[in-house]
Amino acid sequence: MKTVVVTGGNRGIGRAVARELITRGCRVVLHARDRARGERALEELRGAGPGEVTLVTGDLSTKRGIRETADAILAACPRIDVLIHNAGLWPSERILNEDGLEMAFVVNHLAPFMLNHLLEARLVESRSRVVQVSAGLYVKGRPDLEKTPTGEDFQPLGTYPTTKLCNLLLVPRFAARWKERGPTILALHPGVIRTGLGDRKGMLGRLLRVVKRLWKSPEEGARPVVRLALDPALDGVTGRYYHLDVETELLPIARDEALAAKLWSQAEKLSEVLEAG
Ligand SMILES: NC(=O)c1ccc[n+]([C@@H]2O[C@H](COP(=O)([O-])OP(=O)(O)OC[C@H]3O[C@@H](n4cnc5c(N)ncnc54)[C@H](OP(=O)(O)O)[C@@H]3O)[C@@H](O)[C@H]2O)c1
């Protein structure tokens, strides 16, 4: 039975991914920020199929919470066949966490970076596949290394794509780091999906809710994620980006190696993750 960790698994695409994985007989370790919301999701998901589901909790918007999450995952998973970085945040305003960092920068970019490091030994032992749920909107990202971490360049529409781009820029670097060590990493855009992502109050929020009725269901968003997680044809394939099921070359902005190198060393400093070698 494959063990698959799904971050942000209590709603939206993550919950639909968890359901499909249970249907296919996986042991899902469902991560949720909030225990009560996680328990509710578990109640809904139990019995969805022959697989199993257990809960781990942790807040991915602070360094402390990310470390707690990593510890909880390690305690729950003697092996990790697949790690799906799905949790994501599209905030409408600049909010700083207890570390003085902007929330979307942490949840979308720093958290996967830190989890990849904190779980690295287990990922290597398990020869895991890591799936990074990215977003086609990365093309709109404009990172400013000085301002983005603390949200001084915060924009309600611009910060989400920027933080997703920061995250995506580091995928090839993890692929290269793990090349001879076992783990692989793949990223994808899951489609434009009707979930709570980016929900907000006021006129814009009401308009968005109307527009979202036309978007695809979470189940449709889950399908390409589950494919990347389980397809045996992708064994050994690493560092690639998929638009839904189609392998797609990233635009130059996401292949800027100099920018990626700067983001990597910045993330190391910000997260205080020790270089494991
Ligand atoms: N929906 C789309 O059209 C679309 C398009 C492209 C890419 N994506 C990507 O798909 C992924 C899933 O998004 P979704 O649309 O399913 O969004 P969603 O319904 O808003 O779900 C987001 C998930 O992330 C979790 N999360 C947010 N902040 C967190 C934190 N501080 N700590 C831990 N977990 C946190 C949420 O937990 P809570 O319930 O506790 O808030 C929730 O489980 C994201 O990475 C997103 O960028 C979505």
The CB of 87 under 6 Å from ligand 1? The reply is yes
| 78 Cβ contact partners less than 8 Å away, ≥ 6 residues apart | none
Q: Count CB atoms within 10 A of the CB of residue 130.
A: 27
Q: Count CB atoms within 10 A of the CB of residue 232.
A: 5
Topology classification of domain 3-271:
Rossmann fold (3.40.50)
The CB of 41 under 6 Å from ligand 1? The reply is no
Cβ-defined contacts of 199-205 (< 8 Å, 24+): 200/92, 200/156, 201/92
The predicted structure's pLDDT at residue 273: 66
* CA 62 to ligand 1 centroid distance, Å: 16
CA–CA separation, 54 and 4 (whole Å): 11
CA-CA-CA-CA dihedral for 254, 135, 5, 273, to nearest 10: 40
Q: Any bridge partners for residue 241, and if so which? A: 187
The CB of 133 under 6 Å from ligand 1? The reply is yes
Say if residues 82 and 131 touch (Cβ distance below 8 Å).
yes
Count of residues for the chain? Answer: 277
CA–CA separation, 203 and 236 (whole Å): 47
Mark whether 138 is an active-site residue. no
The CB of 3 under 6 Å from ligand 1? The reply is no
Q: If you take atom 41 of ligand 1, which residue's CA is the nearest one?
A: 33
* CA 89 to ligand 1 centroid distance, Å: 5
| 117 Cβ contact partners less than 8 Å away, ≥ 6 residues apart | 271, 273, 274, 276
| Closest ligand 1 atom number to CA of residue 7 | 34
Q: Which of 13, 56, 85, 199 to mutate to test the pocket of ligand 1 (most atoms within 8 A of CB)?
A: 13
In tens, the pLDDT along 42-82 reads 999 999 999 999 999 999 999 999 999 999 999 999 999 99
CA–CA separation, 246 and 176 (whole Å): 22
**Is residue 123 classed exposed, middle or buried when 0-12, 13-18 and 19+ CB atoms within 10 A define those classes?**
buried
| Closest ligand 1 atom number to CA of residue 195 | 19
* CA 196 to ligand 1 centroid distance, Å: 8
The CB of 193 under 6 Å from ligand 1? The reply is yes
In tens, the pLDDT along 159-197 reads 999 999 999 999 999 999 999 999 999 999 999 999 999
| Closest ligand 1 atom number to CA of residue 59 | 32
Residue type, 88: G
Phi, psi of 90 (to 5 degrees): -125, 85
Give 246's DSSP letter. E
For the chain (277 residues), the mean pLDDT of every run of 10, in chain order, is: 98 98 98 98 95 98 98 98 98 96 98 98 98 98 98 97 98 97 98 95 92 95 98 98 98 98 97 61
* CA 277 to ligand 1 centroid distance, Å: 31
The CB of 97 under 6 Å from ligand 1? The reply is no
**Residue for token pair 């709603």:** 11
CA within 13 Å, CB half, 264: 18
The CB of 167 under 6 Å from ligand 1? The reply is no
